[in-house]
Structure 1
Amino acid sequence: DEAERNMFWTLRKAGLPILLSRTSDEKHISFIEDCAIPPEHLPEFVERFQSLLTEKDRDDDAAFYAHAGPGVLHVRPLVDTKTDRDREDMVAIADAVTDMVVEFGGSVSGEHGDGRARTQWNRKLYGEELWQAFRDLKTAFDPDWLLNPGSVCGDHDMTEHLRYDGDYEYDAGLEPSLNWDNENGMQGMVELCHGCGGCRGGQETTGGVMCPTYRAADEEITATRGRANLLRQAMSGDLPDDPTDDEFAEEVLDLCIGCKGCKRDCPSGVDMAKLKTEVMHERHQEHGASLRDRLFANFDTLAAVGSALAPVSNLAQSLPGSERIAEKTIGIASERSLPEFSRETLQDWFEKRGGSRVPTADAERKAVLFADTYTNYSHPEVGKAAIHVLEAAGVHVDLAD
C-alpha cells in the first residue's frame, strides 16, 4: 500500500530530528556520525566503538542508527559542547575512532562530506602524500584560499565554530511569564531548533500546516527555522538586536500567526508561537500595546459596536480613502476588505425565536453551538443554517453565550 509505505518513509526521515529534540544542554552531536567500514569488519568496529564510549562514560546515551548493510554507521554520543570536559572528550573520541577507521580501511565520511567536523582528521585518514596533493590542487584554483578557507585540507579545529561552546552565553533579557517546565526552561525551547530544515519542505513532508506564512512568502526569515535561529542569536548576543525592539518584532515575529503548526509538524517540537507570546508580552510590558494590537485583541467588543451601529458602520468602510486611512493608522492592507456587520446578531435571532425549536424532551440528542465573533456579528446566516440542520436532525440546540 503506497500510503502505508509513505508513512514509514516519513517516520524514517523524522528519526533524526526526533533524536535531536532534547531541550537539555546535552545534544546528540554529529562529529563521528558518518563512519563507513567494510561490512565484514563492522561487528568488531561496533564492539570497539562501544568500548571506547564506555571508557568515556557515554555508552548509555549514544544513538546508533543508519545503513548497516553497506557498513555506514551513524553514531551520536550525547555531548554538552558548552563544557570544556565534553569538548575534550569529543576530540579524544574522534581521534580514536579515526584510528579505527584507518585500521579497517574505511572512511570517516561515508555520505555526509568532510567539512569542518572532519577536516582535523583528514590528514591521518588520507596520508601525507594525498593530503599535500589536496592542498596543491586547492592552491592552484584558489591561491589565496578565499573559498571555504580551512576546510577539508586546511587547519580547522573541530571545536571551532560550534553553535554552543564555552563562550556561549544565553540572556533572554526577560523574566518568563509562561510555564516552561516541560521544555527545560525557556532557554531549552530557544535552543531547540537544530536546523534540519524540515519546516521548509512541501506540505506532503511537513504534515500540511507548518508554516502558513512561510508557504506564502517562501523566505527563510518566515520559516520556523529562520525565526527560531534569529531569536536564539538575539538572546545569545550574536545579533545586536533586542528581541523586544520594533525592528526585530516586525521583521522576525510579526508574521507568525500563532497557529502552532510548528509545534505539531516540527519533529523536534519547536513551538514558535509560545516563544512569540513570551517575547511580545515582554515587549508590551516595556513599550505598551499599539493601537493595532488593542483593536485586534478586543475585536469582539469592536464588532459588537459595529453591529449596534449597522448599517452606518458598514457605510463608513465604503467611504473614499477609508482603506488608505486604515492602512496608515492600524496597518491593515488597503487591498483587504473589512468584515461587514449585521444589525441582528445570531444571539439576538436565537433569543427572539425562543431558543431551540426542538424541545429537550423530544430531542434525540443535544448540542451546544459555539458562535465565534464573525459568525455572531458578521455572518449570522452561517450559524442559523447550522441550527436549522441540527434541528432537522432532531437535535436540541443551545447557543453558548
Structure 2
Amino acid sequence: SYALEIKRFAEEIGVGAIAFYAHASAGCLHIRPQVNLKDQAGLKQMRLLAEKSLELVLKFGGTTSGEHGEGIARGEFTKKLYGPELINAFQEVKEVFDPEYLLNPGKIINPPAMDQKDLLRYGPDYQAVYKPTQTLLNFETDLGFDRAVEMCNGAGVCRQLDGGVMCPSFQATRDEGHSTRGRANMLRAAMTGKLGPNGMTSKELYQTLDLCLSCQACMTECPSAVDMSRLKAEFLYQYYQAHGLPFRSWFFANIGEISKLAQVFSFLLNPILNSPLARLLSMIGIHPDRQMPAFAKQTFTTWVGKQYFPEPEAEKPRAVFFYDTYLEYNYPHIGQALVKICQKIGVDLIILNEKVDSGRPAFSKGVLNKAQKLARINLKLLAPYAEKGIPIIGSEPSVMVMLKKEYRDLVPGPEAEAVSNSAMMAEDFLVSEIKTGRVNLIFDQIPRSILFHGHCQQKANFGTGSTLELLRSIPNSSVEQIEAGCCGMAGAFGYEKEHYSLSLEIAELGLAPRVREADLNTIICASGTSCREQIAHTTERDAVHPLEIFSAALA
C-alpha cells in the first residue's frame, strides 16, 4: 500500500518515472523517483515526496530510517516521528555527554533541512561548465561525460572492505580519495570549476584517478553502476592531449607491435630479460623487481600454420578464436590447449592471422586514438562472422571485454554491436557445446585439486560460472574459487614503479595469502595473464589457465 500510494502521488506531482529495486532476501524495497534536482521544480518535487513519505510512514506505523538511520537526509522529520517528549529527551542526553555539540553535529539534534542548498550534491545552481564537450569515447547512452560522472549518488558502497572486488585501491589505502565515490567527487569538482578553468586536465585530478586499476567492479557492484574505468580512460586521453604522452604509456599502448618485433629476436632478448640487464627497464619507469615475460620461440599462429586441420564440415559448429597479444608471442601453449579441446569436441576453430592487438593496453593507458584504430581493423575482420551468428571466443578476459564493451564506445555502430553480441569467453562457449551431448569426452581420471582465481573484468562482464563449471566437469576434480578481490596487477599498473608497492598490498589483501596456504599438489588456476604473473611474483607458485587444465585432462 505504501509503495502504490507513493507511486500514485509521484504521478500526481509530475514525476515521470520511478525505479523500484530491492534487497529481496531482507524484504527491503527501494523506491527511487526520477527527479531532476538541477531545477527548482525537481527540488520541490523531492520535498513533496519526502513529506508524503513521512505522512504514509506515520499512517502505517513505520519509521523513516529504514536500515540506514536518520542522519542529514531524514533528520528534520524526527520531531514528527518521535514527538516532542522523546526529542527533548534526545537533546538532554546529547547535552550531558556532548555539551559542545562536537560529535557528529547536525544529526538527530538540530538537523538542517533536507533540501538545504549547501547539502545538495546537485541543485538549481549546479553547472558542469567545464565538462568535456568533445570526447573520443561515445557517452551518448549516458547523455554525456558529465552525466556518466553524476551516476555516483554518494552511497559509498565502494568503501567496502570485504565481500567484493570494489574498490581495490580504497581497500588497500583506506583513503576516500581513492574510492570510486572520491574520484567521482573530484571529477565533479573539476567540471564545476572548483579546480580552476583547467581542472579537467589538472595534475590534481590525474593523481586522484591514477590509482584506479580499471577493474570495472564498480560497474556491477555499485548500485548506480558507475563505470570509472571508462571515465578514467577518457580523462587520460584528454590529459595527454594537453600535456603530451609519456614514453612508458606509449610503450605499453604499442606492446603488440613491439612484441611482434621482439619475438623474432627471442634468442637474444630472453637471456637479457632473465639477467640483471633487465633492470635497465627501470629507466622507462618499470619497477626493477618486476620481470617482463619471456618470448616464445614460436608464435601461436606460426604453430597453427604447421598443423594439419581437416577441411571444415558444413554441419560442424564453428567459432572464431580471438587470441590476445601475450598468447601469440609469450604463451602460445594456451592457444594450443584450446585447439586440442575444439578438435576433441568437434568444433572448427577459425584463426585469423590478419587480426591485430585488441587495443586493451592502449585503452587502459588512455591512448584512445590508438585503441580506436586497432578496434576498426578488428571489427572489419570480425563483423562478417558475427553477422552470420558465429561465436567469437577468447581466453583472455580483458581482451574479450574490449570486444564485448569497449569497442562499442570506441567505434559505435552496427559492426560493434554485432561483435559485442557474439563475443564470449572460451569457457562459456565450451560449456554450451559440451552440454549438447554431441561428443562423449574421455578423461584421464587423474584426481585434481584446483584453486581458481577469477579475473576482475571477467567477474564484472561475463562471470566466472562457466569457468568453474568447465573445471568441475573434469572427473575426480575438486574446484574452489578464491574469495578474493583484485590481484593488484591490472596489466601495466603493477609493473610501474610508483604503483608497485600498492600492487603488492592489494595482492596481500586476499589472493596471495590464500595461494600460499594451498597444498603444493593443488593446481593454482587463473584466466588472466596479469593474475598469473602476480601470483608467480608474490607467492612463487605457477598458475595455469583453465584451458590448460581441461586440455591436459583429456585422454
User: Do the structures match in fold with TM over 0.5?
Assistant: yes
Distance in 2, Cα, partners of 1:367 & 1:120:
61
8 Å contact from structure 1 (residues 358, 395) kept in 2: no
Higher mean Cα deviation, 85-94 or 162-171?
85-94
Q: Give the TM-score, by structure 2 length.
A: 0.53
- Partners of 1:345 and 1:377 within 8 A in 2: yes
> How many Å apart are 1:199 and its aligned residue?
4.4
Range 110-119 or range 47-56, more displaced: 47-56
Instruction: Give the match for residue 77 of structure 2.
Output: 121
Report the CA distance between 1:176 and its aligned residue. 2.0
Q: Matches of 2:140 and 2:200 in 1, distance apart? A: 22
Aligned partners of 2:6 and 2:49 also within 8 Å: no
3-state SS of the aligned residue for 2:199? coil
Task: Quote the residue 2:13 is aligned against.
Answer: 56
Residues 1:359 and 2:310 are matched in the alignment = yes
Q: Distance in 1 between matches of 2:186 and 2:264?
A: 45
Matched with 1:34 is: none
Instruction: Give 2:298's aligned residue.
Output: 344
Query: How far 1:395 moved relative to its partner?
Result: 6.2
SS where residue 311 of structure 1 aligns?
helix
Q: Superposed, which structure 2 residues align to 1:191-270 within 5 Å? A: 191-199=150-158, 210=166, 220-237=176-193, 242-249=199-206, 251-270=207-226
Partner residue, 2:518 = none
Query: What is the deviation of 1:190?
Result: 0.6
Q: Give the alignment partner of residue 335 of structure 1, picking from 289, 306, 310.
A: 289
Distance 2:7 2:294 in 1: 68
Cα distance, 1:375–1:217 mapped onto 2, change above 3 Å: farther
- Work out whether residues 178 and 278 of structure 1, in 8 Å CA contact, stay in contact via their aligned partners in 2: yes
- Aligned counterpart in structure 1 of residue 127 of structure 2, from 142, 164, 169: 169
- 2:76 and 2:85 map into 1 onto residues whose CA distance is 16
Gaps of 5+ in 1: 1-42
Q: CA offsets per residue over residues 22-50 of structure 1, 9 Å max, x none?
A: xxxxxxxxxxxxxxxxxxxxx5x778766
Task: Quickly say closer, same or farther: Cα 1:384–1:50, change in 2 above 3 A.
Answer: closer
Paired letter, 2:90: F
Measured on the aligned residues, the alpha-carbon RMSD in Å equals 3.9
Residue pair 2:72, 2:111 contacting (<8 A) in 1 also: no
Percent identity over the alignment is 37
SS of the aligned residue for 1:109 comes to coil
Query: Is the 8 Å Cα contact of residues 296 and 329 (structure 2) preserved in structure 1?
Result: yes
2:330 corresponds to which residue?
A: 378
Q: CA deviation at 1:198?
A: 4.2
Residue type at the aligned position of 1:115:
G
Is the contact between residue 123 and residue 153 of structure 1 (CA under 8 Å) also seen in structure 2?
A: no
Aligned residues: 346
CA gap 1:127/1:336 in 2 versus in 1, 3 angstroms: same
Equivalent-residue separation in structure 1 for 2:53 and 2:345 (angstroms): 70
* CA shift for structure 1 position 398: 5.2
Task: Point out where structure 2 has 5 or more consecutive residues left out of the alignment.
Answer: 354-555
> Quick check: 1:140 aligned with 2:96?
yes
Q: With the length of structure 1 as denominator, give the TM-score of the two structures.
A: 0.70
Deviation of residue 295 (structure 1)?
0.5
Query: Is contact 1:359–1:396 with CA below 8 Å preserved after alignment?
Result: no
Quick one: which of 189, 197, 207 aligns to 2:148?
A: 189
Task: Tell me which amino acid in the other structure corresponds to 1:342.
Answer: A
Q: Which residue of 1 aligns with 2:281?
A: 326
**Cα distance change on mapping 1:124 and 1:275 into 2, 3 Å:** same
Contact 1:360 1:396 in 2 (8 A): no
Q: 1:288 Cα shift?
A: 1.8
Question: CA 1:322–1:90 in structure 2 vs 1: closer, same or farther (change >3 Å)?
Answer: same
